[in-house]
Amino acid sequence: MSEPVFEPKAPLASNIVQGWTAKSDPASVFEAARAEMLRQKRAAMVLGAVLFLAAFVASVVVGEVDLAEFVDGVPNLLNYLSDIAPVLRGDHLVEDVGEWHWSFWRWLELLWDTLLLAFVGTGFGMLGALLVCFAGSRNLVQSGVVYFAARRLAEIARAVPELVYAMIFVFAFGIGPLAGVLAIAVHTSGALGKLFAEVNENIDLGPVEAVKAAGGGWLSTIRYGVIPQVLPNYASYSLLRFEINVRGAAVIGFVGAGGIGQELMYVIRQFIYSDISAIVLMIIATVIIIDLSCERLRHWLIGREGFS
Amino acid sequence: MSRLTVSAEEVARYRSMTPRMFGPNLRERSLRWGVALLCVCFSLYAMDRTGLFDLASIWDGLGKLGFLLNLMFPPAHNGYFWDFLGGIAETLAMAFLGTLGAALIALPLGFLAAKNVSASRILRFFFRRSFDAIRGVDQLIWALVFINVVGLGPFAGILAIIVADAGTFGKLFSEAIENASRGPVEGVRASGGGRLAEARLALLPQVFPVLISQTLYYFESNTRSATILGIVGAGGIGLQLSDRIRVNNWDEAAFIILMILATVSVIDYASKHLRVRLIGKHG
């Protein structure tokens, strides 16, 4: 990067020698430059506004936005919300809650399965990420081909949404949690692989060179020079990814890949109203609990001295 | 050359002086191993429960997967190219309007939920918890809800993105606002500005680059997620993709996936450049 150089539009020194003229005195040179800058800025803003408006109008047309339809739909929405709301009466509260959550224990089991799905998927995704991340770090591999291949591999794994993998895997492995685990694992290995590689690229190279100088091979360089530096970040990113995957695992059942999503899809499609709110509430509670406990765990890990 | 010798007593003395220098003691070590063993056992249980030890069906599935991949090549559009392109355009429109709407709704809510703007503790608590609850429900579930309101189609997807992301943006924006410096706020107050002037003149200029950056980031993210909203019927390319998978048109499915990949990388690239243009290199 080169420093920006100040270049006056007119040769000032020679102007001073030749005497002041209206066109070339520093103040008017400055004013002219400023006016030019403002004009450019205004032109850029007008262009930006026009592009934005064009994108907006095109999106409204293509996206079939119909506010009348929405307004007509609002009563539907309110009806829907009141339909899915449970019947709770003050004098029969316990019975009513019991009836609302009539298959609480089965749903809890499904939620437990959902958590396990996210857990195993994140675990295998981490393993996959570890396999690609060192080869995908510019500062750790010499060969440009290896770097390029690892980065593209992670990109492809990351760019295809979980649900698309899930649809394909459901076809291959049949309906059930196996397809979901594999889908989450493949997507996670791409997402974490990229993050891990970026962490690797920001390390202090001192320890790496020390291990190399002491005669260590590539593997011991990674093990003793890189891993101790990056492990806290890996743990932090993996926990974040686990939170994301819990949300993902809750809906991956929509395409038949296990977890609570399958049940939720069923009750929504069959209009079993009070079950919808019961299950959604349980999902929200689970997600909030997982988020809070991951946050605690993350702070504990980061706060520990000499974590390795 | 003299040899350095250490007697057993000296070792014992140093051990009692600085016990941690010789590594963790037995209790710590057994605790560590115990936790590790527990983790391994739990992982094995979780793997068993999710069917990863069902080797026969894994083997079977891998065979089928190879077969599918074989069917996917070469990817072909079979004359549906313009239909697919229309689906991609719909996806982009959904991501654009969804992100824009969510950001516009979340901006005032973010101010109301920020500690340094909103005086009322109850209001703040209410907004914060609402954001959390909204974020706890996935976009796909919101899409299913809005299909009941406005019917199948991209508009349902747009509304789903707006609602789900309003929760996320509300949280992110209010955090950005809370991190803003107090100096300008006090300056505006000292020169007689009201609360609205504080928000507009002191806080907004500080947080604007952060808001733009986050909005662009979520536009990228929504481009990805809008590709799958169609799977539940909420418009976009996902509808065509799930149709092709359902009827075993694997070469067309592969073509659609490639188109999604190309779109996502174009959007990422464009948004990276836009970000640099709008807020400079370090935004």
Instruction: Express each pLDDT in A20-55 by its tens digit.
Output: 555 567 888 888 899 999 999 899 889 989 999 999
Asked if A255 has any chain B CB less than 8 Å from its own CB, the reply is yes
Per-residue pLDDT at A189: 94
The Cα-based distances of A273 to A220, A269, A279, B44, B140 in angstroms read 59, 10, 10, 37, 18
Instruction: Express each pLDDT in A263-302 by its tens digit.
Output: 888 888 888 888 888 898 899 889 889 988 988 888 887 7
* Nearest-by-Cβ selection for A73 from B52, B65, B149: B149
* Nearest-by-Cβ selection for B93 from A58, A77, A174: A58
The whole-angstrom distance between A97's CA and the closest CA on chain B is 20
CB contact under 8 A, B149 and A74: yes
DSSP string, B29-87: HHHHHHHHHHHHHHHHHHHHHTTTT-HHHHHHHHHHHHHHHHHHSSP--TT-HHHHHHH
Instruction: Express each pLDDT in B188-208 by its tens digit.
Output: 889 988 888 888 888 888 888
Per-residue pLDDT at A22: 53
Instruction: Express each pLDDT in B33-92 by its tens digit.
Output: 999 999 999 999 999 888 888 888 889 889 988 888 888 888 888 888 888 999 999 999
* Residue A307's pLDDT band (cuts 50, 70, 90): very low
Cβ proximity of A189 and A157 under 8 Å: yes
CB contact under 8 A, A58 and B141: no
Instruction: Express each pLDDT in B25-46 by its tens digit.
Output: 788 888 889 999 999 999 999 9
Of A69-83, A232-246, B42-56, B92-106, the one with minimum mean pLDDT is A69-83
Per-residue pLDDT at B281: 58
* Residue A7's pLDDT band (cuts 50, 70, 90): low
Residues 6+ apart with CB under 8 A from A215: none
Instruction: Express each pLDDT in A195-227 by its tens digit.
Output: 999 888 888 888 989 999 999 888 898 888 888
A306: pLDDT strictly greater than 80 = no
pTM of the entire predicted model: 0.80
- Please tell me which residue of chain A has the smallest CA distance to B155: A65
How many CB atoms within 10 Å of residue B79?
8
- With a pLDDT cut of 90, the percent of chain A lying above it is 25
* Residue B133's pLDDT band (cuts 50, 70, 90): confident
Q: Which residue has the tokens 């605790």?
A: B31
Asked if A130 has any chain B CB less than 8 Å from its own CB, the reply is no
Of the CA atoms within 13 Å of residue B11, those in its CB half-sphere come to 5
A180: pLDDT strictly greater than 90 = yes
Widest Cα–Cα separation across chain A: 99
CB contact under 8 A, B50 and A117: yes
Residues in chain B: 283
| Amino acid occupying residue B4 | L
Per-residue pLDDT at A9: 53
Q: Which residue has the tokens 């079993």?
A: A272
Per-residue pLDDT at B283: 43
- Please tell me which residue of chain A has the smallest CA distance to B97: A59
* Nearest-by-Cβ selection for B231 from A58, A160, A163: A163
Of A10-14, A92-96, B8-12, B213-217, the one with minimum mean pLDDT is A10-14
Q: How far apart are CA A99 and CA A210, in angstroms?
A: 66
Asked if B166 has any chain A CB less than 8 Å from its own CB, the reply is no
* Nearest-by-Cβ selection for A116 from B46, B242, B265: B46
Of B5-9, B68-72, B129-133, B209-213, the one with minimum mean pLDDT is B5-9
Per-residue pLDDT at A249: 92
- My answer on whether omega of the bond before B108 falls inside 30° of 0, hence cis, is no
Per-residue pLDDT at B103: 94
Mutate to test the interface with A, among B52, B141, B260 (most CBs of A within 10 A): B141
The angle at the Cα of B195, spanning B193 to B200, to the nearest 5 degrees, equals: 80
Per-residue pLDDT at B3: 67
A17: pLDDT strictly greater than 60 = no
DSSP, res A45: H
Cβ proximity of B146 and B138 under 8 Å: no
- With a pLDDT cut of 70, the percent of chain A lying above it is 90
Of A93-97, A235-239, B9-13, B148-152, the one with minimum mean pLDDT is A93-97
Mean pLDDT of chain B: 86
User: A160: closest CA among A135, A132, A185?
Assistant: A185
Asked if B261 has any chain A CB less than 8 Å from its own CB, the reply is yes
Residues of B in contact with A65 (CB under 8 A): 97, 155, 158
Average pLDDT over every residue of B223-251: 88
Per-residue pLDDT at A23: 58
A1: pLDDT strictly greater than 50 = no
Terminal C-alpha separation, chain B: 61
A159: pLDDT strictly greater than 90 = no
Of A40-49, A119-128, B19-28, B153-162, the one with minimum mean pLDDT is B19-28
Of A184-193, B17-26, B77-86, B229-238, the one with minimum mean pLDDT is B17-26
How many CB atoms within 10 Å of residue A192?
27
Residues of B in contact with A161 (CB under 8 A): 224-225, 227-228
DSSP, res B248: T
Task: Extract the tokens encoding A235.
Answer: 């743990």
The whole-angstrom distance between B64's CA and the closest CA on chain A is 5
The Cα-based distances of A254 to A100, A176, A272, B84, B247 in angstroms read 23, 11, 16, 23, 18
| Amino acid occupying residue A56 | F
CB contact under 8 A, A172 and B64: yes
Asked if A65 has any chain B CB less than 8 Å from its own CB, the reply is yes
Q: If contacts are CB pairs under 8 Å, which of residues 75-94 in chain B contact chain A? A: 86, 89-90, 92-94
Per-residue pLDDT at A292: 87
Mean pLDDT of chain A: 84
